[in-house]
Chain A
């Protein structure tokens, strides 16, 4: 339980830092002309959406967790 709480605090902290520290974030990032690498298709956060949807379906049917990256609700009787 202690470990769980510690995780919750850590994640909450990083979320708060991300949002409140938005002004801090302005020092992060790149200029538009520096997006050569980030603009690559392989650098997209979900660069293989077909693989991701197939994987979601498998792990949704085989494990007790779904979603996180995107919505996890609804589904199938695929057990």
Chain B
């Protein structure tokens, strides 16, 4: 009799590895298996940033309905990001945020800083279990680290079921602490970027005069209250209210704003400055409806904050199953936001400097939409494979600011196109 060499099974290997990590004995571990989801996603903007993100997530359900979820995310970011300055009809030169050299931008182009390069590793863990009758509690933590950024958070959540588990009320809280330590340090808010000759022996001293610290931090407290209601055999609804307050450094140390003369010509670049407090309220509603032909997932979110940003998000997915177990799911998302009160595309040189100012289009008036399609198939033994392709479009808007002089000749609000591709394998 010929013995067939057994192929190494990825699930068995990962289960053994996670059991070893958790210090569980092999026999106990073998009784309860893990469910793994893995994914790789690539996000690419035309001529700008691109990012690749890989995820491996494991979930294990124990005998008493306790659930342990662990997730590892690794992503790499590279490419060019707008630095906040306006395009000009003439070429422009900027000093890199690190102070190590300079970069040039062609006439008419939106200034992009091409030094973006980072790798992030994130670990997430969550423990969920039933408690007493009708209660579920959950606690978790998250840690992520990249070259110049660290984020750590803890969360806790309690939920109670009513009416034969048709109604669930939940309340949760999370605390996050973030530290940013950019190469080249933290710029002095509203100081002028030093754009001298970077080969000049005095350049380093001049650059350092624009720096005030090596790192900054912020902390975030989130509260989340939710109601989930089963309506009937086909329909479930969820309503959430969340409150979030952030305190600390929210300025983007890599962003600047152009200070222009009466003819719109750039005279200086100032480092931006944002308030160090922000309070947000968000209302989120979602429904899932099981039609005969498929499942609708529709949600809406309204957010308002004390930076005067209001936003509306609409999200629709419709899952269409086929008889062979395959499915397709079209996706459509619409997003619109108003500008932060301190957003300005540029500053007039002869006007008094505001306390807070940012030309970052992501806190300006902005509309975006996403269209996408997911295709999934079963591979037997409960394994699943799916592909997702999405197109994301951003239309930044002018929030009423009139372009002056030469700024009328250039594009101040450049649109952004991005493609998202993703492969997910669950086993």
Contacts and interface: CB of A to CB of B under 8 A. Distances in A.
Interface residues of A, number: 52
B198 interface: no
Given A54-B53, A71-B224, A77 B148 contact: yes
Contacts of A78: 51, 75, 77, 118, 120, 146
A6 to B, nearest CB: 11
Interface string A54-79: 10011100111101111111111111
A54 B122 CA distance: 12
Nearest to A54: B41
B27 to A, nearest CB: 29
B127 interface: no
Nearest to B368: A63
B155 interface: yes
B142 A63 contact: no
Contacts of A43: 236, 288, 290, 295
A29 B166 contact: yes
B158 interface: no
- Give chain B's interface residue range (CB within 8 Å of chain A): 35 or more
A41 to B, nearest CB: 10
Contact of A68 (B174, B230, B313, B363): B313
Most chain B CB within a 10 A radius of its CB, from A26, A36, A77 = A77
Contacts of A72: 222, 242, 244, 280, 282
A67 B220 CA distance: 12
Given A30-B166, A50-B55, A64-B337, A58 B43 contact: yes
Contacts of B424: 48, 50-51
B144 A76 contact: yes
A18 B368 contact: no
B302 to A, nearest CB: 5
A37 to B, nearest CB: 4
Interface string B251-293: 0101000000000000000000000000010111110101000
A15 B227 contact: yes
Prevailing SS type, chain A contact patch: loop
A79 B363 CA distance: 12
A25 to B, nearest CB: 5
Contacts of A34: 233
B110 to A, nearest CB: 15
B155 A51 contact: no
Interface string B213-232: 00000001110100111111
Nearest to A75: B151
Interface string B154-165: 010000001111
B233 A77 contact: no
Contact of B164 (A31, A63, A65, A76): A31
A16 to B, nearest CB: 11
Contact of B55 (A54, A58, A59, A75): A54
B282 A68 contact: yes
B366 interface: yes
Given A38-B230, A58-B392, A63-B362, A73 B153 contact: yes
Contacts of B246: 73
A69 B381 CA distance: 32
Contact of B309 (A38, A64, A67): A64
Interface of B: 37, 39, 41, 43, 51, 53, 55, 57, 71, 73, 75, 77, 81, 118, 120, 122, 142, 144, 146, 148-149, 151-153, 155, 162-167, 169, 172, 174-178, 180, 182, 220-222, 224, 227-234, 236, 238-242, 244, 246, 252, 254, 280, 282-286, 288, 290, 295, 297, 299, 301-304, 309-311, 313, 319, 321, 335, 337, 340, 362-363, 366, 368, 374, 388, 392, 394, 420, 422, 424
11 contacts: A18-B239, A25-B229, A26-B167, A29-B166, A51-B374, A57-B53, A62-B368, A64-B311, A65-B280, A65-B303, A74-B177
Interface of A: 4, 7-8, 11, 14-15, 18-19, 22, 25-26, 28-32, 34-38, 40, 42-43, 45, 47-51, 53-54, 57-59, 62-65, 67-79
